[in-house]
Amino acid sequence: MRDVKSEQNLAGDEHWPFIPVVTIKGDELAKAIPEGANQTQGEKVVQSWQKVAVLEVNPDIEVYFGFIAGRHMQFLNVAVRKKQGQFGVRVGDGKVSFFVIPKDLQSRPSLKLITVTTTQDKAYADLPLY
């Protein structure tokens, strides 16, 4: 095999940005997405989840966000809308890890959990929710 990583000098930190991750405990009251559900069916369940993790990206740059739940991993291929670097994500029945990927694939943002609240929290009424 050709060692492309060495040939192209790709071992440096500048080529391997970290992906920041925040892990949240699941909501025992949330419905589980049924096994084998398609994206539309799963989204109906997600919309019923009331627990929300408020996350903050710093610096406030364009990012994609995704999640890991068990062995399932997905990301949204549209840049996240934020309010002063913050956005909300619904939390389901199990432990979930959220991550962000900088749109430019080179920046090194941090991701921080601000609070866990509910969709009814008036303090976050204008926060973009995913």
Please tell me the predicted confidence (pLDDT) of residue 38.
Answer: 93
The structure's pTM equals 0.91
Please tell me the predicted confidence (pLDDT) of residue 45.
Answer: 95
**3-class state of residue 117 by DSSP:** strand
Query: Quick one: average pLDDT of 61-83?
Result: 96
φ/ψ (deg, to 5) at 102: -65, 140
Please tell me the predicted confidence (pLDDT) of residue 103.
Answer: 96
pLDDT-derived band of residue 87, with 50, 70 and 90 as boundaries?
A: very high
Please tell me the predicted confidence (pLDDT) of residue 3.
Answer: 94
Please tell me the predicted confidence (pLDDT) of residue 109.
Answer: 97
Q: How far does the chain reach from its first CA to its final CA, in angstroms?
A: 43
Share the mean pLDDT of the chain: 96
Q: Tell me the pLDDT tens digit for each residue of 41-55.
A: 999 999 999 999 999
Please tell me the predicted confidence (pLDDT) of residue 8.
Answer: 94
pLDDT-derived band of residue 31, with 50, 70 and 90 as boundaries?
A: very high
Closest C-alpha among 22, 5, 13 to residue 86:
22
Domain ranges (residues) in the chain? 15-124
